[in-house]
């Protein structure tokens, strides 16, 4: 049986590259993308990284650098990033028989047997060229016999310019040369705590981890780290999963652009979050058996009184009906609310998720329970989803407000270049 070969394709500085895509005037300009409410740096272009801008730093801490170097700020534009990510993944699916989308900006490709037609390095360059031609985003490609090695190959493709963004790590000798140069904390799955313990054992490089006795790693850490070490030795331990694991929880939460004090405004925000979670629930063909709501003030505003509460309820019947989830969410919210506080964040989380085969009907269900008929409920939710998906108008639940009431601060938001006719880029 032929040894499997994986390619990891990772977009370079994804959020920042998306912002530069329709702004050629910023090609060589440092760019940073900010978190919700324009609070912290969550993405940086290469130019910003070279200036020493750190991930997670509050934007008000780098005001001097912004002025001095002309750094361009952008609010997170998740609609744009999601659409461009989808275009990248569609392109990759046309290039490989199997694609496993790992995150918004990276995916594993099964390229086993491709080398019969073209060298793996040439195929990696073809991937780079095709993604850039079709979408306009730069990517790096790491190719190896295991996913963990493919991750390291991608790391090398980004770190070493001489590779021109493609590294083929299928040769065992080349694997060991790279592993000897890579710090152990750069290995996929080795976090800060584990790397600190490995350093205490004088294991500071990926090669030293690969050469450590597997039984010792299992005994002192876990079977997960043992598998990582085996993968560093070219032994695949992470099977390909064509079907993504079903979600176990779905959450929608948000920090408000301005503090909310009234119960009415808080209800409108929570109702909206409840609707968003049920939309995600239906897209995955799942039903929720439990619901949790939380509210809190701003913990960083030490001069204001602090308050934080959460409450949950188990549903009699698992549901994906927005009306049921909104009704239960508001019932949980009202006893938690207290006047005199400035609420900065709220959220709704659904758990105990099951698919249709896991549903159990209530023997005593009746009109008195206020539970919508399941068939009518399903039809109504389907119609709502179709209208919201296809139409420029939006169908809201009665208790929802328009997003302006609780919208995030996004003072540097770029246009929806690819998803709104009115915001298409123009050429002058």
Instruction: Give the pLDDT of residue 291.
Output: 94
Rounded-to-integer distance, Cα 274 and Cα 59, Å: 31
* Secondary structure of residue 348 in the 3-state scheme: strand
Q: Which two tokens stand for residue 138?
A: 């730069």
- Choosing from 223, 245, 267, the residue where a domain stops is 245
User: 420 in a domain, yes or no?
Assistant: no
CATH number for 190 = 1.10.150.20
Same domain, 93 and 141: yes
Comparing C-alpha atoms, which of 76, 151, 65, 70 is closest to residue 108?
151
d(CA 64, CA 187): 35
- Sequential DSSP letters for 173-232: HHHHHHHHHSBGGGSTT--HHHHHHHHHTT--BHHHHHTS-HHHHHHHT-HHHHHHHHHH
269 and 393 assigned to the same domain: yes
The answer to whether position 416 is within a domain reads no
More confident call, 239 vs 129: 129
Q: How does pLDDT run across 202-251, given as a tens digit for each residue?
A: 989 999 999 999 988 888 888 989 999 999 999 888 777 655 566 788 98
Query: Once rounded to an integer, what is the mean pLDDT over residues 264-282?
Result: 90
Give percent above pLDDT 90 in the chain.
54
- Residues 6 or more apart whose Cβ sits within 8 Å of residue 281: 250, 287, 288, 320, 350, 353
Helix (H) or strand (E) holding 19: helix 14-21
Q: What is the CATH number for 166?
A: 3.30.70.270
* CB-based contacts of 396, cutoff 8 Å, min separation 6: 275, 402
pLDDT on residue 50: 92
- Mean pLDDT over each residue of the chain, to the nearest integer: 87
Residues 235 and 291 in one domain: no
Asked whether the predicted pLDDT for residue 128 surpasses 90, the reply is yes
Last residue of a domain, one of 195, 212, 245: 245
Q: What is the pTM of this model?
A: 0.77
Contact between 7 and 112 (Cβ < 8 Å):
no
Q: Which residues on neighbouring strands pair with residue 107, listed in sequence order? A: 9, 101
- Residue 423 included in any domain: no
270 and 281 both lie in a single domain: yes
163 and 63 housed in the same domain:
yes
| Domain membership flag for residue 207 | yes
pLDDT tier at 368 (50, 70, 90 boundaries)? very low
Give the CATH number of the domain where residue 279 resides.
3.30.1490.100
Pairing mode, strands 343-355 and 308-319? unpaired
Residue 110 and residue 227 in one domain = no
Domain extent at residue 393: 250-405
User: Is 287 in the same domain as 337?
Assistant: yes
137 with 211, same domain?
A: no
**H-helix or E-strand containing 47?**
helix 46-50
Give dist(CA 213, CA 207) in Å, integer: 12
Regarding whether 152 and 19 lie in a shared domain, the answer is yes
Q: Tell me if 163 is assigned to some domain.
A: yes
One domain for residues 158 and 28? yes
The domain total for the chain is 3
Residue 195 belongs to a domain: yes
Take residue 287 and report the two structure tokens written for it. 């039903």
My answer on whether 140 and 224 are in the same domain is no
Which of 116, 149, 170 represents a domain boundary (last residue)? 170
Answer yes or no: is pLDDT of 157 > 50.
Answer: yes
Task: Say what the pLDDT of residue 285 is.
Answer: 86
Taking a C-beta distance cutoff of 8 angstroms, is the pair 34, 42 a contact? Answer: yes
Same domain, 166 and 177: no
Question: DSSP assignment, residue 238?
Answer: S
Most confident of 116-130, 258-272, 294-308, 394-408: 116-130
Q: Given this model, what pLDDT does residue 369 score?
A: 44
In a domain, 417, yes or no: no
Give the whole-angstrom CA distance, residue 15 versus residue 45. 8
Residue 415 covered by a domain? no
pLDDT in the model for residue 180: 93
């Amino acid at each position: 049986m032929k040894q499997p070969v994986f390619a990891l394709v990772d977009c370079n500085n994804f959020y920042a590259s998306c912002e530069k895509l329709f702004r050629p005037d910023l090609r060589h300009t440092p760019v940073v993308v900010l978190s919700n409410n324009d609070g912290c740096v969550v993405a940086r272009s290469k130019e910003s990284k070279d200036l020493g801008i750190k991930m997670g730093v509050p934007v008000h801490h780098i005001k001097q650098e912004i002025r001095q170097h002309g750094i361009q700020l952008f609010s997170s534009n998740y609609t744009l990033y999601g659409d461009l990510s989808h275009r990248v993944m569609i392109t990759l699916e046309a290039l490989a028989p199997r694609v496993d989308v790992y995150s918004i900006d990276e995916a594993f490709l099964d390229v086993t047997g491709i080398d019969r037609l073209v060298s793996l390095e040439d195929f990696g360059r073809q991937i780079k060229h095709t993604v850039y031609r079709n979408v306009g985003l730069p990517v790096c490609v790491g190719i190896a016999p295991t996913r963990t090695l493919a991750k390291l190959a991608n790391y090398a493709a980004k770190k070493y310019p001489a590779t021109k963004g493609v590294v083929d790590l299928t040769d065992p000798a080349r694997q060991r040369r790279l592993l000897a140069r890579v710090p152990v904390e750069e290995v996929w799955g080795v976090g800060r705590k584990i790397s600190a313990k490995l350093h205490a054992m004088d294991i500071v490089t990926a090669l030293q981890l690969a050469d450590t006795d597997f039984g010792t790693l299992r005994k002192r850490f876990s079977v997960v780290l043992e598998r990582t070490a085996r993968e560093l030795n070219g032994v695949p331990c992470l099977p390909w999963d064509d079907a993504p694991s079903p979600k176990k929880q779905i959450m929608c939460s948000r920090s408000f652009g301005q503090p909310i004090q009234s119960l009415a405004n808080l209800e409108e925000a929570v109702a909206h979050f409840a609707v968003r979670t049920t939309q995600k629930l239906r897209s995955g063909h799942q039903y929720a058996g439990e619901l949790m709501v939380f509210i809190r003030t701003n913990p960083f505003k030490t001069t204001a009184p602090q308050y934080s509460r959460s409450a949950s309820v188990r549903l009699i019947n698992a549901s994906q009906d927005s009306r049921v989830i909104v009704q239960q969410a508001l019932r949980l919210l009202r006893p938690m609310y207290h006047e005199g506080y400035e609420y900065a964040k709220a959220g709704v989380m659904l758990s105990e998720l099951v698919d249709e085969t896991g549903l159990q009907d209530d023997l005593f269900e009746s009109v008195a329970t206020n539970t919508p008929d399941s068939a009518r409920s399903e039809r109504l939710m389907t119609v709502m989803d179709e209208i919201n998906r296809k139409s420029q108008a939006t169908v809201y639940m009665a208790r929802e407000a328009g997003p302006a009431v609780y919208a995030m601060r996004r003072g540097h938001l770029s246009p929806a270049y690819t998803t709104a006719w009115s915001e298409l880029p123009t050429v002058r």
